[in-house]
């Protein structure tokens, strides 16, 4: 394939500090006020680059706000069964909270490598590479110097589309090659948030990009997602060891707590006696998807409280289902001063398999010069 290197797009510095819902009479006034405050508190400079909050809005009033700090989805408001806008992603009211130690990657773009790499080591073209360790003995979500903490160059194409770009230097966080990355967020008029990822490199490297949005379809700040009905079209998971690194095998889900081929509540089997659930303190596992053609939903989540349903489409072969087991609610610094306690959100991270560089039987995450990494994921909402 023809090599396409991506140049940094100049940063749009105009803050869209306007009311998000002034044209929607059914929007909740408290939510509106909070979002206006967010816009003001997101104007800052980090590492010498301007940071702001961008707003996408469709013809139905559905709205997503995104900061170019880490490419983070800050809020995502979609209509519930009563046509009231409901914010379904966890986040913070100001940029400072996203920079605190131990922040759980709320809404962030993840790279260079989403999920874990065992002991932060892999071999590529005969050379050994050592990455930053930030998850016990392993590397998680790119390391301590991951894309989630970078200021991305931003271009708001129109009211429904935002382009973010970043150039990762050769050796950054231990990864080889200068990597040019472009991520496009598009909010469609059928209430779908589409995320397109493109990357190229000047040296052979590994790439596995994803987004780490935390969803609660009851509304962010609701205390639990255990009542959510979940379907995942996958006949197997990649089982893990006690440090959550895949063993390299595939484990059939039939007859286990991991079988979501038919809809069931997240809480139905989460407390079962199961070694894999023990390792993850709940669900924190990669599902090997049966299909990943962008046309067939790979997962569906529904809240009976709000009536909101989310369908997930992807071109990726894997899906990390995480049930918020490491959230504690200790810091009451969520949006509007809310706490986000244990299992108060679900993450569905589309991806290639964790630790794939160390397992020849997993789909390759290697990207070579002249090739273009391209993948897409869509979260579609209905009621």
N-terminal to C-terminal alpha carbon distance within the chain: 42
Chain-centroid distance, C-alpha 186 = 15
141 is a catalytic site residue: no
- Residue with the two structure tokens 């790499």: 117
Q: Which two tokens stand for residue 275?
A: 């070694």
Closest CA to 123 of 341, 335, 328, 360: 360
Active-site residue identified among 141, 349, 352, 359: 349
212 is a catalytic site residue: yes
Active-site residue identified among 212, 228, 292, 359: 212
Q: 206, 378 in Cβ contact below 8 A?
A: no
| Cβ-based neighbours of 151, under 8 Å, separated by 6 or more | 46, 47, 49, 50, 51, 68, 69
In the chain, what's the furthest Cα-to-Cα distance? 61
Helix (H, G, I), strand (E, B) or coil at 74: strand
Q: How far, in Å, CA of 179 to CA of 112, rounded?
A: 9
Rg (the chain; Cα; Å): 20
Report the DSSP beta bridge partners of residue 277: none
- DSSP one-letter string for 9-64: PPPP-----S-SSTT-TTS-HHHHHHHHHHHHHT-EEETTEEE-EEEEE-TTS-EE
User: What dihedral angle (degrees, nearest 10) is formed by the CA atoms of 129, 134, 139, 141?
Assistant: -120
User: What dihedral angle (degrees, nearest 10) is formed by the CA atoms of 9, 20, 91, 72?
Assistant: -10
Catalytic residue annotation = 212, 349
């Amino acid at each position: 394939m023809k090599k396409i290197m991506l140049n940094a797009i100049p940063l749009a510095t105009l803050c869209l500090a306007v009311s998000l819902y002034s044209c929607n009479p059914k929007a909740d006034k408290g939510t509106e006020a909070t979002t206006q405050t967010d816009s003001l508190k997101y104007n800052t400079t980090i590492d010498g680059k301007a940071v702001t909050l961008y707003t996408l809005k469709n013809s139905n009033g559905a709205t997503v706000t995104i900061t170019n700090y880490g490419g983070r989805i800050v809020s995502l408001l979609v209509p519930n069964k009563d046509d009231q806008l409901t914010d379904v992603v966890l986040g913070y009211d100001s940029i400072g909270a996203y920079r605190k130690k131990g922040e759980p990657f709320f809404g962030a773009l993840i790279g260079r490598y989403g999920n874990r790499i065992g002991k932060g080591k892999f071999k590529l073209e005969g050379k050994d590479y050592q990455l930053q360790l930030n998850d016990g003995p392993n590397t998680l979500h790119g390391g301590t110097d991951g894309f989630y903490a970078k200021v991305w160059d931003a271009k708001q194409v129109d009211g429904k589309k935002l382009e973010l770009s970043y150039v990762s230097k050769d050796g950054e966080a231990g990864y080889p090659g200068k990597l040019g990355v472009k991520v496009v967020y598009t909010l469609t008029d059928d209430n779908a948030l589409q995320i397109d990822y493109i990357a190229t490199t000047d040296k052979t490297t590994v790439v596995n990009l994803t987004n780490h949005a935390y969803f609660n379809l009851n509304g962010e700040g609701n205390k639990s997602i255990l009542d959510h009905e979940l379907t995942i079209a996958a006949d197997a998971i990649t089982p893990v060891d006690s440090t959550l690194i895949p063993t390299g095998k595939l484990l059939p889900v039939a007859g286990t707590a991991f079988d979501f081929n038919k809809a069931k509540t997240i809480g139905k089997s989460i407390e079962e006696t199961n070694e894999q659930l023990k390792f993850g303190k709940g669900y924190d596992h990669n599902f090997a998807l049966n299909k990943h053609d962008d046309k067939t939903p790979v997962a569906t989540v529904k809240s009976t409280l709000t009536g909101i349903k989310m369908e997930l489409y992807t071109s990726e072969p894997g899906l990390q289902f995480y049930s918020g087991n490491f959230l504690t609610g200790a810091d009451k610094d969520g949006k509007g001063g809310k706490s986000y306690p244990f299992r108060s959100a679900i993450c569905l991270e589309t991806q290639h398999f964790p630790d794939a560089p160390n397992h020849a039987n997993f789909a390759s995450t290697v990207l070579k010069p002249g090739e273009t990494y391209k993948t897409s994921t869509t979260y579609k909402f209905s009621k």
